[in-house]
Amino acid sequence: MADPKDKLLLDAAYEWEKNSPNRVYMTQPLGDGKVVDYTWAETMNEARRMAAHLRSLDLPEHSHIALISKNCAHFVMCDLAIWMAGHAAIALYPTLNADTVEYILDHSDSRLVFIGKLDDWDDLKLGIPDSLPKIALPLAPKTDFDKWDDIIARNEPITDSPSPPGEQLALMCYTSGSTGRPKGVMHSFASASIPAQGFGRELEITTDDRILSYLPLAHVMERATVECASFYTGTHIYFADSLNTFLQDLHRARPTLFISVPRLWLKFQLGVFQKFPEKKLDRLLKIPLIGHIVRKKIVEGLGLGDVRIAGSGSAPLPADLIEWYDRLGLHIIEGYGMSEDFAYSHMSTPQKRKPGYVGVAWSDVQTRVSDGGEIQLKSPGDMVGYYKAPEMTAECYTEDGFFKTGDRGEYSPEGLLRITGRTKELFKTSKGKYVAPVPIENLLNCNSNIELSC
């Protein structure tokens, strides 16, 4: 593989701007069935104009700039503008409460915040200091903040194409904080670029592919596999408008790549069962000619008729759910990764997949299971460290440089990894038996009525 420093994230974007300026890169819904397409030229033009504005603010070198927004085209433009201006991007989940927003903005030393498409602005805004400069994206709630469109109208695009060194900080992903205060996971341009290239290479993603972006871009999986990977693959990104329009958004995109989580795969199945009772569907699928027609009708109805790669992450899929989708012709592959390795660790393939297993290690990832059963790995996506927590960072690595995931696991003879629990979460029942809660939690999390269990 070529040295990633030859083509980091921005370098890849510049190539599309130069060589395919009129190719549509992103499609953004505006509501009421209306959409707007952004070509590479239009995307980079807006990002360059915003970069000019950010430079004019005379912020300290390599400042941290926050972004709070649901997925949208201007989220990607923000990242590009922040990077071209020489700063680092700090994305916050749009569903955070005000206290957590306030904590992250303070902890990250953010100098400015972009406000984008949000559902709970009245609550969330209470966590944003009045003193922090703010810029409203085109789909943001109504505010008196300086507006993106006004800023790009009064600024000329920068004419240079800066290429930050690989070791420079590109972004921070804040962990969800379900077990304490969120941690700021720092990633350099190199640790974000190598995995982004790897996803495209290993999965053979091309400009002919389409993907719907709806899982939070503040989460490392969507940031890495959708946004950052698209800088190398040129994949056409469609964005979802809302939960109410999700099926409509899927049908508009007709994705060839579809990445989801167990809860949504289960929700799809339950939706099918409402139209086709389970026993009746089972009988129909067994009839050769009719079964083919029914399969096609179901998959087309879900908007997944063109999908060639269906993926799932965040938790293992139940074996019976995988087998059910197999019968429909959707062979779901699973992956394993985390914020600390930029989601670049393991992935199953159509040739190497097994229910209950999260796949094999990527070709450039070293992995092992310690004597205590812990999964340890070295990934090109390994983080720079936790922000303001050097001691915690040091504790996460072995003496020979392997990251201690905190997950317990085992490998099959074929090299497939199975997650068996957490190293520090065993508890003892009243009968003296040790139990790993993770498998139980994974089953609970597959219930469409449960958001999180721990």
More confident residue, 436 or 315: 315
The verdict on residue 453 lying in a domain is no
Domain boundary among 220, 247, 274: 247
Residues 242 and 333 in one domain: no
Q: What pLDDT, in 10s, does the model give residues 336-355? A: 999 999 999 999 987 888 88
Q: What residues contact residue 206 under an 8 Å CB cut-off, 6+ apart?
A: 233, 234, 235
Q: What pLDDT, in 10s, does the model give residues 197-220? A: 999 998 999 999 999 999 999 999
At 386, list the tokens: 């936790």
User: Per-residue confidence at 2, pLDDT binned at 50, 70, 90?
Assistant: very low
Domain boundary among 247, 273, 290: 247
Residues 356 and 300 in one domain: yes
User: Tell me, what's the pLDDT at 349?
Assistant: 84
Rounded Cα distance between 123 and 228, Å, is: 30
Check if the beta carbon of residue 369 is closer than 8 Å to that of residue 411. yes
pLDDT greater than 90 at residue 168? yes
User: Tell me, what's the pLDDT at 428?
Assistant: 40
User: Tell me, what's the pLDDT at 5?
Assistant: 43
User: Per-residue confidence at 406, pLDDT binned at 50, 70, 90?
Assistant: very high
| CATH for 357 | 3.40.50.12780
User: Tell me, what's the pLDDT at 442?
Assistant: 63
pLDDT greater than 50 at residue 163? yes
The verdict on residue 231 lying in a domain is yes
Residues 73 and 142 in one domain: yes
Q: What is the mean pLDDT of residues 438-447?
A: 65
Domain boundary among 203, 227, 247: 247
User: Per-residue confidence at 403, pLDDT binned at 50, 70, 90?
Assistant: very high
User: Per-residue confidence at 446, pLDDT binned at 50, 70, 90?
Assistant: low
Residues 283 and 236 in one domain: no
The letter for the amino acid at 353 is R
- For the ranges 165-179, 254-268, 377-391, 428-442, the lowest mean pLDDT is seen at 428-442
User: Per-residue confidence at 1, pLDDT binned at 50, 70, 90?
Assistant: very low
| CATH for 73 | 3.40.50.980
Residue 135 lies in domain: 4-247
More confident residue, 1 or 366: 366
Residues 119 and 165 in one domain: yes
CA atoms lying within 13 Å on the CB side of residue 7: 16
Q: Note the pTM of the prediction, 2 decimals.
A: 0.91
pLDDT greater than 80 at residue 41? yes
The verdict on residue 15 lying in a domain is yes
Residues 239 and 376 in one domain: no
More confident residue, 6 or 423: 423
User: Per-residue confidence at 449, pLDDT binned at 50, 70, 90?
Assistant: low
Residues 94 and 219 in one domain: yes
User: Tell me, what's the pLDDT at 111?
Assistant: 98
Residues 171 and 271 in one domain: no
Q: Which residues pair with 34 in a beta bridge?
A: 31
User: Tell me, what's the pLDDT at 189?
Assistant: 98
User: Tell me, what's the pLDDT at 431?
Assistant: 40
Residues 239 and 274 in one domain: no
The verdict on residue 452 lying in a domain is no
The verdict on residue 252 lying in a domain is no
User: Tell me, what's the pLDDT at 270?
Assistant: 93
The verdict on residue 454 lying in a domain is no
Burial 211-246 (b: 16+ CB within 10 A, else e): bbbbbbbbbbbbbbbbbbbbbbbbbbbbbbbeeebe
Residues 237 and 318 in one domain: no
3-state secondary structure of 293: helix
The verdict on residue 146 lying in a domain is yes
Rounded Cα distance between 68 and 75, Å, is: 9
Mean pLDDT of the chain: 92
More confident residue, 353 or 229: 229
Indicate the number of domains in the chain: 2
Instruction: Give the pairing type, strands 236-239 and 210-213.
Output: parallel
Residues 145 and 290 in one domain: no
The verdict on residue 451 lying in a domain is no
Name the DSSP class of 397.
Answer: B
Rounded Cα distance between 204 and 58, Å, is: 42
Residues 399 and 418 in one domain: yes
pLDDT greater than 80 at residue 445? no
pLDDT greater than 70 at residue 417? yes
Rounded Cα distance between 50 and 157, Å, is: 8
Percent of the chain with pLDDT over 90: 81
User: Tell me, what's the pLDDT at 134?
Assistant: 98
